[in-house]
Each structure stands twice: as C-alpha cells, then as structure tokens.
Amino acid sequence: MQQLQDATDFLIQQTNSFVPAYGIILGTGLGALVNEIDIQYSIPYDEIPHFPVSTVESHSGKLIFGQIADRPVVVMQGRFHYYEGYSMEQVVFPVRVMKMLGVQKLFVSNAAGGLNPEFNTSDLMVITDHINLQPTNPLIGPNKDILGPRFPDMSEVYDAEIIAQAQQIAASTQLTLRTGVYVSVPGPMLETKAEYRYLTLIGADAVGMSTVPEVIAARHMNLRCFAVSVITDMCVPGKIKKVIIADILAAAARAEPNLTLLIKELIKLQGPPLVKEW
C-alpha cells in the first residue's frame, strides 16, 4: 500500500492534481488511440516510483493524462505481463494506482488469437466473460481490505451496459463487432494445435496473455470494466500457420482505426465524471 501511495502521490504532483475518470490500457500494436487524446501530461514509466517498465516490443511505456471527447482519461501506452518475469502484483500495480487517482471505469484492449471459426483476422471481439489459466492471480495472499473484499464476486466481470453501448456504436457505424469469451494463458510461447483444441473445448473464443489479471484487480476495487480483443491470427484447424510478431502487429494495425473509433465513441457516451470515489 505504501508503494501504491508513493506512485499516486507522485502522479498527483506531476499532473497538478489531474483527476482521470476513465482508465485505458492499450495492448500490443494498439497505440493509435493516443492520437485522439488532448494530451496534458505524458510520464515515462521509469520515472514513476515502483512502476514496472515494459519490456515488450510495441509497448511504449508511458502513462498519458488528457482528454478524449472532453472526458478526463489516463492511458497506459504499454502494459505488463506475467511472462516478463513480473509478479502479479506488479502486473496490476498501474490499475490500482488508476483507482487511487480517481478512475471509475476501465477500458482494456489486447491482441488475441481467434479460436472461434466464425472470426477473421483483424476482427474486434468484445469480451463478455473470461477464463483464467494464468498460474496465479493478483488477489493471492493477504487481502488488502482498503482495496476490496476478500472474496470479490466475478459473476458479472464485464459491464453489460458498456457492452450494449459498444453494440449500438457498431450498429450505427456498420462496424463488425464480435462477442465472446477470452482465455488468458501465461505465454510467452504461442499455443500448440492440441492446446488450441483444448481451449476451444473449454469454451474460449479468443486466447491471449494479458487482461484477466488487470480486470480481476479492477473488479476487486469495484471498477466497471470493458475489454476488447483484436484478433491477430486464427487458431482453428485449417487456418493455423506459423506466426511472427510482425504478422501480429500488422493485423493489429489494420484493426486500429475501428478500435480507436469504438473506444473514442464509448468514452463520449460515459457522460461527465462522478465525484472522485477514492
């Protein structure tokens, strides 16, 4: 808690007490949303006390404060993964700081492999539920009662109202928007064909290596969550091929305009921020 307070105090000082109402986490190759922000402050992760530093290609490593559609936001340009060698508490550290800064809703994006045969590369999939296959989670260990309860409910992880808003935006803009279950695995290697079959059998529509830890921490703190995956490769029989990071980034780049439109329009619909909760 002291580390969280140190980071929060530093950011309050550096941003002249800027209070963001909405937090956004940008996943692999999905940084174009930054161009839609009226940026007021941009702070490298390595300047923030106790913050991890992103080691993954395409993750810039900055915390950006500003306005989208006149709504105050804080944006993680680059996230952290368990496979980088960080603990789960480090992975979700920025989400907890966001809450302490005043964030009320969290919007998360990621790149994922498509397990549903009806999907196509560069589709957007709104996450309606998840399966956690990470080896641990950020709530293991003594509970921090100030953050949330010992046994947080996870029956409605992803906010139904925001999902409905996303579907309305898609209908009005003729944007193809899939929905499905996201499964989070540790990585960093991509899955075998047998693992893809297994993940499909247990009910997943897309697979990735992030998002679930952050969302667990967010729901523990009663943050409302919305998450969307960009399908960067297909993982179904007949469509599986060897993938390199350049292919994933190219697929994400093709989807970026649609993702940027979706998040920007969603932020518009959230209305003015409420009184800071923390």
Q: How many domains does the chain have?
A: 1
3-state class percentages of the chain: helix first, strand second, coil last, to nearest 5: 35, 25, 40
* Average pLDDT value for residue range 107-123: 96
Residue 154 has pLDDT above 80, yes or no: yes
pLDDT of residue 93: 97
How far is the CA of 69 from the CAs of 30, 38, 97, 205, in angstroms?
19, 9, 23, 32
Q: How many helices (H) and strands (E) does the chain have?
A: 6, 9
Least confident of 136-150, 169-183, 264-278: 264-278
Domain at 261, CATH number:
3.40.50.1580
pLDDT of residue 184: 98
* Average pLDDT value for residue range 39-43: 96
* Average pLDDT value for residue range 222-241: 94
* Average pLDDT value for residue range 124-141: 98
Residue pair 101/49 in contact by the 8 Å Cβ criterion: no
What SS3 state is found at 51? coil
Residue pair 252/231 in contact by the 8 Å Cβ criterion: no
Residue among 117, 61, 121, 89 nearest 248 (CA): 121
Name the band, by pLDDT with cuts 50, 70 and 90, for residue 271.
confident
Is 274 inside any structural domain?
A: no
Residue among 108, 91, 123, 100 nearest 28 (CA): 108
Least confident of 81-85, 225-229, 268-272: 268-272
pLDDT of residue 57: 57
Residues with Cβ within 8 Å of 201's Cβ and at least 6 positions away in sequence, in order, are none
Instruction: List, for residues 93-105, the tens digit of each pLDDT value.
Output: 999 999 999 999 9
Residue 13 has pLDDT above 80, yes or no: yes
Is 76 inside any structural domain?
A: yes
pLDDT of residue 277: 60
What SS3 state is found at 73? strand
* Average pLDDT value for residue range 164-168: 98
Q: What does the chain come to in residues?
A: 278
Spell 104-143 as b/e; 16+ CB within 10 A means b.
bbbbbbbbbbbbbeebebbbbbbbebbebbbeebbbeeee
Q: Is 183 exposed, middle or buried (0-12, 13-18, 19+ CB in 10 A)?
A: buried
Residue 86 has pLDDT above 70, yes or no: yes
Is 278 inside any structural domain?
A: no
Pairing outcome for strands 177-184 and 124-132: parallel
Rg (CA), the chain: 18
pLDDT of residue 61: 87
Residue pair 26/76 in contact by the 8 Å Cβ criterion: yes
Least confident of 46-50, 59-63, 107-111: 59-63
Is 188 inside any structural domain?
A: yes
Is 101 inside any structural domain?
A: yes
CA atoms within 13 A on the CB side of 276: 11
Is 54 inside any structural domain?
A: yes
Q: Which helix (H) or strand (E) holds 226?
A: strand 224-234
Given phi > 0 = left and psi -120 to 50 = alpha, else beta, which region is 61?
Answer: left
Q: Name the average pLDDT for the chain.
A: 93
What SS3 state is found at 116? coil
Is 240 inside any structural domain?
A: yes
Residue 11 Cα to chain centre, angstroms: 21
Count of CB atoms situated within 10 Å of the CB of 157: 18
Domain that holds residue 139: 2-269
Is 276 inside any structural domain?
A: no
Name the band, by pLDDT with cuts 50, 70 and 90, for residue 53.
confident
Q: pTM for the whole thing?
A: 0.94
* Average pLDDT value for residue range 259-278: 82
pLDDT of residue 32: 82
% of the chain with per-residue pLDDT over 70 = 95
The single residue listed with the structure tokens 């989070």 is 184
Instruction: List, for residues 232-261, the tens digit of each pLDDT value.
Output: 999 999 899 898 888 888 998 999 999 999
pLDDT of residue 243: 85
